[in-house]
Amino acid sequence: FSSSPSPSSMGSEAEIERVLWTEEEIARRVAELGAAISADFKGAVPSPVVLVGVATGAFLFLADIAREITVPVAIDFVRAESYGAGTESSGEPRISGDLKIDVEGKHVIIVEDIVDTGNTLSRLMSHLEKKGPLSVSLCTFLDKPARRRVNFELVGEGKFYRGFECPDYFVVGYGMDYAELYRNLPYVGILKPEMYK
Ligand code: 5GP
Ligand code: MG
Ligand code: MG
């Protein structure tokens, strides 16, 4: 494979400038988060707890953390769209795909790839709150607090879990994309500057 960007190599390792978290570091942290959730929700009533993955970015994180959680869970997805193909949030995210599971009276844990401005999450929180859940927690793989513009509130006794605090870069990999590419990289990294066009 060529190491310089060309249409056929786009979306591969060659465009990564720097790795922020390796596959091994991610696995260790996800196991810790899964253990924390398992301890906090042990014996929780009602059961199961509903894990709500935010498509598409959370698909790998959800798959990995679900296998580290030892309490009964149900799994569903919502789809939120804010970015289009760029690196800046539109500020008006849209819920374009809704839950199949009825979460009224249930414990819900939102599973997100990254919370950046907070727009998507606050929109999603109020969307879920209207369904009458007993609690809504957040489990986000990455958190970029430096860029927060909108605050969000957990519902009921909801808890906050986060994998890593992310420095102020646009990151890709482990589910996260740039123009729908790079989601399948098993680590998280920053692209070479020339890739952002
Ligand atoms: P927010 O609405 O909080 O600004 O951003 C929410 C969504 O935008 C995230 O769930 C994620 O899908 C996307 N996003 C935010 N920051 C990044 C980033 O650094 N890299 C990638 N690939 N997506 C991001
Ligand atoms: Mg997301
Ligand atoms: Mg995206």
Pair of tokens at residue 159: 């808890």
Question: Which residues, 6+ apart, have CB-to-CB distance to 197 below 8 Å?
Answer: none
Surrounding residues of ion ligand 3, Cβ less than 5 A? 83, 177
- Concatenated DSSP letters of 124-190: HHHHHHTT--SEEEEEEEEE-GGG--S----BTT--EEEEEEPPSS-EEBTTB-BTTBSTT-SSEEE
- The reply to whether ipTM tops 0.90 is yes
C-alpha 44 – ligand 1 centre gap (Å) = 31
Q: How does residue 13 score in pLDDT terms, banded at 50, 70 and 90?
A: confident
The span from the CA of 32 to the CA of 38, in Å, is: 10
95 compared with 83, residue with greater pLDDT: 95
* pLDDT (average), residues 133-159: 95
pLDDT on residue 82:
73
Examine the pLDDT at 172 and tell me if it is beyond 90: yes
Residue with tokens 């899964």: 34
Assigned CATH topology for domain 22-84+109-190: Rossmann fold (3.40.50)
The span from the CA of 181 to the CA of 54, in Å, is: 17
For the chain, what percent of residues have pLDDT higher than 70? 91
The span from the CA of 3 to the CA of 196, in Å, is: 17
- Per-residue pLDDT of 104-125, as tens digits, reads 999 999 999 999 999 999 999 9
The span from the CA of 107 to the CA of 103, in Å, is: 8
Q: Which atom of ligand 1 is nearest to the CA of 118?
A: 3
pTM of the model: 0.93
Distance of CA 188 to the CA centre of its chain: 13
- Residue in 194, 190, 197 with CA at minimum distance from that of residue 20: 190
Pocket of ligand 1 (CB under 6 A): 57, 82-83, 89, 93, 112-121, 170-172, 176-178
C-alpha atoms less than 13 angstroms from C-alpha of 8 in its C-beta half-sphere: 3
- Per-residue pLDDT of 176-188, as tens digits, reads 999 999 999 999 9
- DSSP secondary structure code for residue 31 in this structure: H
* pLDDT (average), residues 52-71: 98
Q: How does residue 135 score in pLDDT terms, banded at 50, 70 and 90?
A: very high
Q: Which atom of ligand 1 is nearest to the CA of 148?
A: 3
